[in-house]
């Protein structure tokens, strides 16, 4: 730690992204990325003209990308903010509307980035426990008396809140800001975009990283009323006016217009999700029903969750274990990849289970013999 690091930062617990090891090829199902490539329109959009354009600063108003996203979702560009991933959009929301001491509530089991934002901006982060079945305690949010950030559908639980319930939280008090992070909405959630023109206090955030197969391009966007978007743009112009690089803007415009391509990919993911859920149940695991591109299942008592995660890694498959979160200790989260990948995961899981059963039986026998 340097002499200059701020007081209070010395024990900072940083966000822990899914590992990206390179010691061997892995099937990567630990960060909810898509196993499908971006739309072919993206390749076409990367022309030598676009490459040469990189010599110049891009349009800091991101006009064309905002117009295109707006057209897809039925909003004028004045209601669209674009950022370097949804994570940066949320960071600009924090910088614009939150300061030290402000309170913000979220689910206790959710995207860990909200906690690190709250830490960085010195907010009072209120964790509201999800219910036993991992659904959101909507009444607790309605009555929490502070601003709210919700992943909907939630990560890592895969559970969604109906729009009518989000509306109850938003409608309770127009002076409370409600941020709805819809990173997974395209896989089966209900979008809260219809609430944007009805209420002055909601921001919906979406991303290209999951359903549009472009996590590496870093494109996220927020949709809200014009005043909120103006505020965020002004803050952006004070911090990082050229936040989204020109190439990402060009491919972002091309990709979002190729609705057919990405809805086909989503359909394939949903099909493989159904297959994987069925196989998990057949193996004897209990699953948390999901409307996302990942499945959370309970590994225990069949096998410890950390052991299953570890063994899968040894078999070349990366999945996610959230050991730091007490309520997640028995669970494993698996991103839904291509069908062939999911079949391989199932085959490997069966092997791992079988091996574990045999070892356990042998240990019992040894104990009985001694």
Ligand X SMILES: *Cc1c(COP(=O)(O)O)cnc(C)c1O
Q: Does 96 bind ligand X (CB under 6 A)?
A: no
Q: Does 211 bind ligand X (CB under 6 A)?
A: no
Residue 158 CB, nearest approach to ligand X (Å): 11
Number of residues that bind ligand X (CB under 6 A): 13
**CB of 58 or CB of 181, closer to ligand X:** 181
With CB under 6 A as the contact rule, which of the stretches 49-57, 84-92, 325-333, 362-370 interacts with ligand X?
84-92
**CB of 38 or CB of 85, closer to ligand X:** 85
Residue 214 CB, nearest approach to ligand X (Å): 9
Query: Of 82, 78, 87, 93, which is closest to residue 111 (Cα–Cα)?
Result: 87
- Three-state secondary structure string covering the chain: CCCCCCCCCCCCCCCCCCCCCCCCCCEECCCCCCCCCCCHHHHHHCCHHHHHHCCCCCCCCCHHHHHHHHHHHCCCHHHEEEECCHHHHHHHHHHHHCCCCCEEEEECCCCCHHHHHHHHCCCEEEEECCCCCCCCCHHHHHCCCCEEEEECCCCCCCCCCCHHHHHHHHHHCCCCCEEEECCCHHHCCCCCHHHCCCCCCEEEEEECCCCCCCHHHCCEEEECCHHHHHHHHHHHHHHCCCCCCHHHHHHHHHHHHCHHHHHHHHHHHHHHHHHHHHHHHHHCCEEECCCCCEEEEECCCCCCHHHHHHHHHHCCEECECCCCCHHHCCEEEEECCCHHHHHHHHHHHHHHHHHHHHHHHHHHHHHHHC
Residue 56 CB, nearest approach to ligand X (Å): 25
Q: Report how far apart, in Å, the C-alpha atoms of 159 and of each of 185, 264, 286 are.
A: 11, 23, 15
With CB under 6 A as the contact rule, which of the stretches 82-90, 98-106, 160-168, 247-255 interacts with ligand X?
82-90
Q: What is the CA radius of gyration of the chain?
A: 22
Instruction: Give the CB-nearest residue to ligand X.
Output: 85
Q: Does 85 bind ligand X (CB under 6 A)?
A: yes
Q: Does 220 bind ligand X (CB under 6 A)?
A: yes
Binding mask 295-324 for ligand X (x = CB under 6 A): ------------------------------
Q: Does 186 bind ligand X (CB under 6 A)?
A: no
Residue 8 CB, nearest approach to ligand X (Å): 25
**CB of 88 or CB of 349, closer to ligand X:** 88
Q: Answer whether the bond into residue 301 is a cis peptide, omega within 30°.
A: yes
Q: Does 207 bind ligand X (CB under 6 A)?
A: yes
Pick from 215, 235, 283, 344: which binds ligand X (CB under 6 A)? 215
**CB of 154 or CB of 225, closer to ligand X:** 154
Binding mask 145-184 for ligand X (x = CB under 6 A): ------x---x-------------------------x-x-
**CB of 155 or CB of 249, closer to ligand X:** 155
Residue 186 CB, nearest approach to ligand X (Å): 13
Q: Does 30 bind ligand X (CB under 6 A)?
A: no
Residue 55 CB, nearest approach to ligand X (Å): 27
Residue 44 CB, nearest approach to ligand X (Å): 23
Q: 242 with 231: CB under 8 angstroms?
A: no
Q: Does 111 bind ligand X (CB under 6 A)?
A: yes
Where do contacts with ligand X occur on this chain (CB under 6 A)?
A: 32, 85-87, 111, 151, 155, 181, 183, 207, 209, 215, 220
């Amino acid at each position: 730690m340097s002499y200059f690091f701020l007081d209070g930062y010395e024990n900072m617990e940083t966000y822990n992204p899914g590992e990206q090891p390179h010691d061997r090829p892995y099937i990567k199902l630990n960060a909810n990325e898509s196993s499908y490539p971006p739309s072919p329109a993206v390749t076409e959009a990367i022309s030598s003209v676009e490459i040469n354009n990189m010599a110049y600063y891009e349009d800091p108003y991101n006009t064309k990308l905002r117009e295109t996203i707006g057209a897809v979702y039925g909003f004028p560009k004045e209601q669209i903010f674009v950022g370097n991933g949804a994570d940066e959009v949320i960071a600009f929301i924090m910088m614009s509307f939150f300061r030290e001491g402000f309170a913000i509530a979220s689910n206790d089991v959710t995207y860990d980035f909200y906690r690190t934002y709250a830490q960085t901006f010195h907010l009072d982060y209120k964790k509201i426990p999800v219910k036993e079945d991992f659904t959101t305690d909507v009444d607790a949010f309605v009555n929490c008396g502070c601003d709210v950030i919700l992943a909907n559908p939630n990560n890592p639980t895969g559970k969604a809140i109906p729009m009518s319930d989000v509306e109850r939280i938003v409608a309770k008090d127009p002076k409370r800001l409600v941020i709805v992070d819809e990173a997974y909405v395209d896989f089966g959630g209900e979008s809260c975009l219809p609430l944007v023109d009805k209420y002055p206090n909601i921001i919906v955030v979406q991303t290209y990283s999951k359903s549009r197969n472009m996590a590496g391009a870093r494109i996220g966007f927020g949709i809200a009323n014009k005043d909120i978007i103006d505020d965020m743009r002004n803050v952006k112009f004070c911090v990082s006016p050229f936040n989204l690089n020109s190439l990402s803007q060009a491919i972002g415009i091309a990709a979002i217009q190729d609705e057919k391509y990405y809805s086909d990919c989503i359909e394939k993911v949903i099909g493989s999700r159904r297959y994987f859920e069925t196989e998990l149940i057949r193996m004897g695991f209990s699953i948390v029903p999901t409307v996302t591109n990942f499945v959370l299942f309970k590994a225990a008592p069949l096998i410890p969750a950390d052991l299953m995660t570890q063994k899968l890694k040894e078999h070349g498959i990366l999945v996610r274990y959230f050991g730091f979160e007490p309520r997640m200790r028995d669970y494993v989260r698996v991103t839904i990849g291509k069908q062939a990948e999911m079949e391989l995961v199932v085959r490997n899981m069966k092997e791992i289970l079988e091996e574990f059963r045999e070892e356990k039986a042998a240990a019992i026998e040894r104990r009985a013999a001694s």
